[in-house]
């Protein structure tokens, strides 16, 4: 979907943030971080400065299923 549209779905990633079920912890570029799934937004691709990293599908898929349940 993100490849076909001029907008992409993004979420905030932070090294701080309160531990909640909707804020899974990951390791991104060797640093501990939280994905703030309660702050999902859609932004135009032109506003993005660059890619910070990539989340392994093996980690992302169960989180996505839980989020949509």
Question: Encoding tokens for residue 9?
Answer: 């779905």
pLDDT per position as a tens digit, 20-45 = 777 888 887 788 888 888 888 899 98
Question: Encoding tokens for residue 44?
Answer: 């135009």
The structural domains of the chain, with segments of one domain joined by +, span: 7-68
Helix (H, G, I), strand (E, B) or coil at 17: coil
pLDDT for 5: 86
Q: To the nearest whole percent, how much of the chain has pLDDT over 90?
A: 1
Distance CA 30, CA 20 (A): 21
pLDDT for 55: 73
Is residue 16's pLDDT more than 70? yes
Is residue 51's pLDDT more than 80? no
pLDDT for 2: 66
User: Quick one: DSSP state of residue 5?
Assistant: S
């Amino acid at each position: 979907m993100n490849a076909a549209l001029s907008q992409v779905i993004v979420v905030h990633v932070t090294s701080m943030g309160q531990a909640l079920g909707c804020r899974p912890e990951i390791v991104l570029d060797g640093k501990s971080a939280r994905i703030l799934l309660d702050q999902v937004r859609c932004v135009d691709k032109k506003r993005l400065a660059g890619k910070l990293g990539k989340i392994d599908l093996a980690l992302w898929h169960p989180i996505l299923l839980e989020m949509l349940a």
